[in-house]
Chain A
Amino acid sequence: MLKVEKLTKMFGGLAAVHDVSVEFEARKINAIIGPNGAGKSTFFNLISGLRKPTSGRILIDGHDVSRLRCDRVARLGVGRTFQTTHLFEQATVLDNLIVGHRLRTRSGLWDVLINSSRLQREERECREKAREALDFVGLAHLENRVVLDISQEERKRVAFALALATEPKLVLLDEPAAGVNPEETEGLARLIRKMAEHGLTVCLIEHKMDMIMGLADKIMVLNYGEKIAEGTPAEIKANPAVIEAYLGSDHDAAA
């Protein structure tokens, strides 16, 4: 599904991601772990097109997307969340989600001027898609609540819903469980599993090891921008290079 070949990104003289090759299968949950500053977020930014790689290729279902702009990549079916997703606080949850399906619509200025039937139809579609996504993440009842009033964990789910409304094939989740309590983390893990069960390929960055070990089908470990291991949770746990990297660093992921 996602195939990365010799991906490198240099910032100034430093390699944030260096010569990483990896392949993620469709409908699987893939995790990327590593100490702080290991290049995980940069890796996501490269895949989603926010940054251009210095060298290497990124293939999604065989299409080379490494030179495409972020919005093009999104249209090809890559959705993502951020560590903090800025939502419009003073609007309702549903209002925040409607724009998520915008990329599948074509109405422009002219449609707005004449209030064309295409615009009306597409607005309906976006609304439906937003509801569907909200329902999928289990927040259908919050539709009309103002974002300001919902909890941290609910915001996380809204951010998921926003990514899902783009109709992705691959979702990149950047620390989806940061800042939520263990019980809620469990709930989010169930949601992520549900995404995979519904045919999405999931790729996540996470520091919560318990969650990763129980959730991921495959784990890739980055350290100083380089891939030092990949494999099943069991393999990763037993890998001496991984243990070395974690013990050598600040232990931020040891939980």
Chain B
Amino acid sequence: MRRFASLFTHPAARWVLLALALGFPFVASSEYQVYVMATAFIWAIAVYGLNIITGYCGQLNLAHGGFFAVGAYALAILTSDHGWNFWPAFLAAGLVSAALGAAVGVVSLRLKEHYFAIFTLCVGFIIYLLIDKWEALTHGAIGIRGIAAPDGFGLVDFSQTRPFYYLALGFLVLAIWFAGRLASSLLGRTFMAIRNGDALAQSLGIDLMRNKVLAFVLSTTYAGVAGALYASMIRFIGPEEANPNHTFDMITYLLIGGFGTLFGPLAGTVGVVWITQSLQFLEDYRMVIFGPLIVVLVIFMPRGVVGTFLGWKLRKDAEAARADARPGVDGMSGTEVKPHA
């Protein structure tokens, strides 16, 4: 059993995963499936962002869908209304989300737990209301048409589903790569120390504000980039993109996959998107099932699928290691003493 489980954590597993993703369009039964997968990838990128602030850093951000919409609208407005080229507009969309994230973060991250969640819930709603009402900028309820597809410089046509799929996959790989590097770095450990408690983190000399704002800006940048990709894929967006329900969807994906794990966001997002797709009748009422599922998971399996699996494996490995070699060290004495400080 442990052997079998090791297959998933083997370094080669991620290359297998990548190969599967690369091959998917060739085995997919229809273009629609490829399209759905590309959508799942884009949402997964956003969920990776949510994982940074909520999973690693422990701050429940309820405005994440709002920042996704900000990225989408930034790209839409720049390319459709102002005739920008895709790539500069894409970059700008990322920067706008980052800048807005910094502004919101500086104010909101001084707040403790509940206040931060409430505050961001309201921020998400303000974004929604503004997009809905600020017609001069966002065209209100009419939405924005004619959003540019990613520019392939005449080499590839990203308005086609398959090329776009690979583009989305590319960004997803980049997102996971950076998330992985972050999580194993000192910076990621710093975020996780904050999750374990503000007071403890501070007493370890960690500058709370600085690190929280950084985590938040990273997360909103992810959201903005994902939103921009989303807009360029569907080419038409409306205020519903900012509906706070998207935030709740992303929390569901992350919870099911596993907070604070590297592959949780991917597993959760792709898994849930496909389950809802294959159960078409669920589309509108999926929350009848996912709502209670969230509650049950939070109570019985708060670390999600990936987190639970990793926790289980970690302990099995530890047990096995102990069985293999009983350490002959006397635990209490600590005889080798190195001078301190």
- Residues of chain B contacted by A108 (CB below 8 angstroms): 187
B332 located at the interface, meaning its Cβ lies under 8 Å from any Cβ of chain A in the complex: yes
B19 located at the interface, meaning its Cβ lies under 8 Å from any Cβ of chain A in the complex: no
* Of the residues A90, A149, A166, A200, contact of B204 by C-beta under 8 Å: A166
Most chain-A Cβ atoms within 10 A of its Cβ — which of B204, B315, B332?
Answer: B204
The segment from A9-17, A138-146, A216-224 found at the interface with B is A138-146
Q: How far is the CA of A112 from the CA of B311 in the complex (A)?
A: 26
B114 located at the interface, meaning its Cβ lies under 8 Å from any Cβ of chain A in the complex: no
In contact, A199 and B186 (Cβ under 8 angstroms): no
B193 located at the interface, meaning its Cβ lies under 8 Å from any Cβ of chain A in the complex: yes
- Residues of chain B contacted by A77 (CB below 8 angstroms): 341
In contact, B203 and A80 (Cβ under 8 angstroms): yes
In contact, B186 and A107 (Cβ under 8 angstroms): yes
Q: How far is the CA of A77 from the CA of B204 in the complex (A)?
A: 10
A32 located at the interface, meaning its Cβ lies under 8 Å from any Cβ of chain B in the complex: no
**How big is chain A's contact interface, by range?**
35 or more
A194 located at the interface, meaning its Cβ lies under 8 Å from any Cβ of chain B in the complex: yes
B59 to chain A, nearest CB (A): 16
In contact, B327 and A98 (Cβ under 8 angstroms): no
* Of the residues B204, B314, B331, contact of A103 by C-beta under 8 Å: B204
B185 and chain A: residue at smallest CB distance: A112
A30 located at the interface, meaning its Cβ lies under 8 Å from any Cβ of chain B in the complex: no
In contact, A79 and B203 (Cβ under 8 angstroms): yes
Given contacts A90-B310, A132-B338, A74 and B189 within 8 Å (CB-CB): no
In contact, A148 and B315 (Cβ under 8 angstroms): yes
- 28 interchain pairs, CB-CB under 8 A: A50-B199, A70-B199, A71-B204, A71-B206, A82-B199, A85-B200, A91-B314, A98-B189, A99-B190, A102-B193, A103-B204, A107-B186, A109-B187, A112-B188, A113-B181, A119-B185, A132-B340, A135-B337, A136-B338, A136-B340, A138-B331, A138-B333, A139-B331, A141-B329, A142-B331, A146-B315, A146-B318, A148-B315
Show the binding face of A for B, using Cβ within 8 Å.
Answer: 48-50, 69-72, 74-75, 77, 79-80, 82, 85-88, 90-92, 98-100, 102-103, 105, 107-109, 111-113, 115, 119, 122-123, 126, 132, 135-142, 144-146, 148-149, 154, 162-164, 166-169, 187, 191, 194-195, 198-200
